[in-house]
């Protein structure tokens, strides 16, 4: 029974025994007051580990808060496990090691967070003499004495991003309508937006460039559109809701990832035949399936190497085969992630010319490429995604290539990316400016 009591005390107060309980109560009580002053939910002070993370938020030291959270969790884990593992066991040594390492890291980062918290309350550094050994008493003083007020609240030092448009793209009978309200994840108890406020209509027969710097949300956007990772969104392809009809529409959307997953020991024809078995409906007649394989090989110029092993193909041939595998189901929407990766200029040009021909058949082609300017004349429109001040992927522009050049005041697509990239990434840091500008265009 005492073991269970001690475990309970560690979980609730962070330590066992009378001293541990008193320290835990003082810390939680003090942090409750600090959190109220700093704009953090006060009841977070009652949650083990999390209270340290939020204390770091109040000190504008969120990265240190993550480490402090983890270190405190390791210390508690090691402490609790010691009550259940015999001292003679090897696991006991491991438990002690985990607790010791966690405690050392905890002390180092607690010191850093407390030093930053003192700056938040704009008092002299000598307060650290009290804050580090007697953290509970320190937090009570600064949490409940009205004399001590923080210089800012947590929301004050969060950058203000461009406003939301509130727009919605009209759903059309033909083509692709994208209305993404947001795509979010929960990270360290906070909702983190990966994408927000992306609305557009892409007409049939369009070949569209998807542009944006690293972390702008290009892959997340594509996954939301094809239904692989659903967002808070309405995606409509040819008047059918992709999310509501996902199983039925899996043959109508083709996605070619950057890395292919083909078996090198198979022939080109066998690879496409297997793809046909997977991508075409179960009731698709065998004779028509064979005809479709032959037709696709002809479209992508693979007939001369039909009997060749995949491992023997050139880089360009392998890329064409990878695309052909997805095209076997004759999709209306075709998405490609860096299909020209590893190809020289001539081979890349040939590949994109083939994609242009496919788009001209009434298909929608969306492509990510890091070298867009060498084939930019083949594209109709460009989608530009950018990270706003809160590191959320936002729509900075959607329209024709010429309109994009006028909108950003740049001739090359690569220059546009540099314009919206953050300054620490070597860019001009103007993402929010153009997100706001395009929001005004949408609302006009």
In sequence order, the 6+-apart residues with CB closer than 8 A to the CB of 208 are 202, 364, 365, 366, 367, 379, 380, 381, 382, 383
Please provide the average confidence, as pLDDT, over all residues in the chain: 86
Q: Can you tell me whether residue 152 is helix, strand or coil? A: coil
Max avg pLDDT among 96-100, 137-141, 232-236, 306-310: 232-236
Report the pLDDT averaged over residues 257-269. Answer: 77
Query: Which range among 65-69, 270-274, 393-397 has the greatest average pLDDT?
Result: 393-397
For the segment 391-418, the average pLDDT, to the nearest whole number, is 95
- Of the two residues 355 and 188, the one the predictor is more confident about is 355
The reported pLDDT for the residue numbered 268 is 85
Tokens of 412: 């090359």
Contact 350, 316 (CB under 8 A): yes
Best mean pLDDT range from 17-21, 337-341, 429-433: 429-433
pLDDT greater than 60 at residue 114: yes
Classified as helix, coil or strand, 235 is strand
pLDDT for 1 equals 42
In the block, tokens 């947590």 appear at 154
Report angle CA 294, 297, 298 to the nearest 5 degrees. 90
Any idea what DSSP says for residue 163?
P
DSSP 172: -
Distance of CA 221 to the CA centre of its chain: 9
The H or E element that residue 20 is part of is helix 17-38
- Look at the alpha carbons of 114, 116, 122, 125 in this order and tell me if their dihedral is positive or negative: positive
- The mean-pLDDT minimum among 170-174, 283-287, 391-395 falls in 283-287
Helix segments in 165-254, DSSP class H: 218-226, 246-249
**Residue 207 pLDDT exceeds 60:** yes
Q: Which domains are seen in the chain, by residue range? A: 2-155 (no CATH), 176-252+331-443 (3.40.50.300)
Query: Going by DSSP bridges, is the β-strand pair 190-202/176-187 parallel, antiparallel, or unpaired?
Result: antiparallel
What was the pLDDT predicted at 349?
87
- Over range 156-178, report the average pLDDT: 81
Q: What is the mean pLDDT of residues 196-220?
A: 94
Task: Give 359 or 2, the one with higher predicted confidence.
Answer: 359
Classify each residue of 377-393 as buried b or exposed e, where b means 16 or more C-beta atoms within 10 Å of its C-beta. ebbbbbbbbbbbbeebb
pLDDT over 90, % of the chain = 39
């Amino acid at each position: 029974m005492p073991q269970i009591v001690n475990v309970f005390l560690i979980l609730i107060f962070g330590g066992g025994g009378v001293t541990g309980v008193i320290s835990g109560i003082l810390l939680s009580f003090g942090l409750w007051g600090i959190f109220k002053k700093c704009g953090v939910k006060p009841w977070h002070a009652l949650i083990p580990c999390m209270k340290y993370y939020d204390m770091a938020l109040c000190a504008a030291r969120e990265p240190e808060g993550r480490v402090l959270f983890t270190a405190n969790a390791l210390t508690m884990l090691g402490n609790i496990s010691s009550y259940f593992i015999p001292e003679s066991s090897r696991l006991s040594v491991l438990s002690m090691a985990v607790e010791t390492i966690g405690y050392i890291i905890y002390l180092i980062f607690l010191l850093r967070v407390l030093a930053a918290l003192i700056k938040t309350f704009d008092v002299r550094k000598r307060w650290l003499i009290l804050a580090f050994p007697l953290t509970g008493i320190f937090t009570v003083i600064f949490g409940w004495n009205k004399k001590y007020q923080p210089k800012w609240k947590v929301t004050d030092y969060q950058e203000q991003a461009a406003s939301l448009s509130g727009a919605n793209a009209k759903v059309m009978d033909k083509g692709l309508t994208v209305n993404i309200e947001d795509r979010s994840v929960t990270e360290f108890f906070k909702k983190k937006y990966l994408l927000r406020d992306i609305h557009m209509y892409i007409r049939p027969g369009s070949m569209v460039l998807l542009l944006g710097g690293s972390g702008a949300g290009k892959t997340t956007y594509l996954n939301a559109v094809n239904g692989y990772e659903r967002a808070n969104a309405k995606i409509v392809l040819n008047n059918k809701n992709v999310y509501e009809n996902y199983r039925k529409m899996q043959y109508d959307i083709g996605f070619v990832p950057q890395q292919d997953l083909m078996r090198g020991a198979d022939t080109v024809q066998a690879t496409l035949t297997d793809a046909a078995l997977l991508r075409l409906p179960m009731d698709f007649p065998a004779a028509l399936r064979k005809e479709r394989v032959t037709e696709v090989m002809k479209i992508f110029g693979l007939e001369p190497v039909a009997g060749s092993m995949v491992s023997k193909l050139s880089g360009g041939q392998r890329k064409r085969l990878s695309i052909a595998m997805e095209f076997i189901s004759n999709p209306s929407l075709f998405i490609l992630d860096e299909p020209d990766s590893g190809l020289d200029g001539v081979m890349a040009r040939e590949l994109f010319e083939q994609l242009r021909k496919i788009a001209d058949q009434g298909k929608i082609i969306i492509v990510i490429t890091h070298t867009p300017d060498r084939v930019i004349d083949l594209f109709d429109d460009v989608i530009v995604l950018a990270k706003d001040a809160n590191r959320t992927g936002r729509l900075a522009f959607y329209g024709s290539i010429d309109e994009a050049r006028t909108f950003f005041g740049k001739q090359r697509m690569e220059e546009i990316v540099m314009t919206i990239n953050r300054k620490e990434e070597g860019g001009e840091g103007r993402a929010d400016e153009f997100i706001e500008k395009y929001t005004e265009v949408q609302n006009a």
